[in-house]
């Protein structure tokens, strides 16, 4: 079971390259992006976010994300879509997407306050099984949308605050109950978001070409691309081969390198920024495979356009 409420996410992004896409939530589990947390089942982080306004960055969702705003507002951008989530509002975003954010503090305090819940498939399955919830057939993908929080949902979020006063004394069993309470509140208070949660368990089959073209520059795995397309991994690979004439891994690598070559020639971005913006794990790895492909290091291509 994995559920995470993340604190000071943007505070730690500033130590990274502006173009780097930070993985959520693995960067927080490893301790790279947070200093205070509650640990559940050996790996889950439960924390809260209170930061100053103006923070911005990008993260890649390794798990589904329920983003709750308790003060101020945040502009979230995913591909061609953007949403502004204000005080006492929330939004559910599917895993395997890159999301950019820009936070604004409240007029009263200048602070931005939020909670981020990462919910994995196992947690959602356990909850739906325990409640005997039947997932109705869905033929159309439900898009993310901002939903108001009920008074009960707001009270639930603030009830988590005391758990951070003394993390070592927090009982894991009690934390698990609080996590399940979250899902009960979502089910009872926001029908729209709960319907989206049901679809997380049974994604709608979508256009493979569109999914690939929109996501190949993210640090995304082939398994995650298959999930986004609503296909099994074997079906995804088979259809991909039919459409593109080569394996997904080879095609994605070639497209990223082609785009990197173009950006090196036509932009003033550093080699590191280009590597991170195109989903490469690190600049060293990018430089090595770029040289293998083009016969020269990326630095030799800068400004040739």
Q: Is the pLDDT of residue 110 over 80?
A: yes
**pLDDT for 15:** 31
pLDDT band at 8 (very low <50, low <70, confident <90, very high): very low
Q: If phi over 0 gives left and psi between -120 and 50 gives alpha, with beta otherwise, what is residue 264?
A: alpha
Q: Is the pLDDT of residue 305 over 60?
A: no
| Range picked from 102-106, 131-135, 195-199 for highest mean pLDDT | 102-106
Assign a CATH topology to domain 208-300.
Answer: Arc Repressor Mutant, subunit A (1.10.10)
pLDDT band at 17 (very low <50, low <70, confident <90, very high): very low
pLDDT band at 138 (very low <50, low <70, confident <90, very high): low
**The architecture CATH gives domain 3-201:** Sandwich (2.60)
pLDDT tens digits for range 179-196? 888 999 998 888 888 888
Lowest mean pLDDT among 16-25, 45-54, 68-77, 227-236: 16-25
- Tokens representing 128? 């739906």
- Which residue intervals of the chain bear CATH 2.60.120.10? 3-201
Averaged pLDDT, 147-158:
94
User: Is the overall model pTM greater than 0.85, yes or no?
Assistant: no
- Which residue intervals of the chain bear CATH 1.10.10.60? 208-300
Alpha-carbon distance of 208 to 53, in angstroms, equals 38
**pLDDT for 221:** 86
Runs of H (alpha helix) within the chain: 9-13, 26-29, 121-130, 151-159, 172-189, 191-201, 208-215, 222-229, 233-244, 248-266, 271-277, 283-294
pLDDT band at 229 (very low <50, low <70, confident <90, very high): confident
């Amino acid at each position: 079971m994995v559920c995470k409420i993340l604190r000071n996410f943007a505070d730690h992004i500033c130590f990274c390259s502006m173009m780097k896409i930070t993985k959520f939530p693995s960067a927080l589990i490893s301790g790279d992006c947070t200093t205070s947390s509650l640990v559940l089942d050996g790996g889950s982080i439960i924390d809260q976010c209170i930061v100053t306004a103006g923070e911005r960055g990008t993260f890649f969702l390794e798990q589904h994300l329920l983003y709750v705003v308790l003060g101020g507002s945040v502009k979230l951008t995913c591909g061609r879509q953007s949403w502004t989530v204000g005080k006492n509002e929330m939004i559910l975003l599917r895993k395997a997407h890159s999301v950019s954010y820009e936070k604004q503090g409240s007029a009263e305090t200048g602070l931005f306050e939020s909670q981020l819940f990462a919910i994995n498939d196992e947690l959602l399955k356990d909850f739906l099984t325990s409640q005997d919830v039947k997932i109705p057939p869905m033929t159309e993908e439900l898009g993310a949308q901002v939903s108001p929080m009920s008074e009960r949902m707001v009270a639930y979020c603030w009830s988590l605050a005391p758990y951070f006063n003394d993390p070592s004394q927090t009982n894991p069993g009690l934390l698990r109950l609080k996590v399940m309470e979250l899902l009960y509140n979502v089910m009872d208070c926001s029908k729209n978001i709960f319907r989206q949660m049901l679809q997380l368990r049974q994604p709608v089959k979508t256009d493979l070409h569109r999914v690939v073209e929109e996501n190949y520059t993210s640090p995304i795995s082939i398994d995650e691309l298959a999930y986004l397309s609503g296909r099994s991994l074997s079906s995804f690979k088979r259809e991909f081969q039919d459409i593109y004439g080569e394996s997904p891994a080879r095609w994605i690598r070639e497209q990223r390198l082609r785009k990197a070559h173009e950006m090196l020639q036509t932009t003033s971005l550093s080699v590191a920024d280009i590597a991170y913006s195109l989903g490469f794990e690190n600049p060293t790895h990018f430089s090595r495979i770029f040289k293998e492909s083009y016969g020269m290091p990326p630095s030799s291509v800068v400004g040739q356009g």
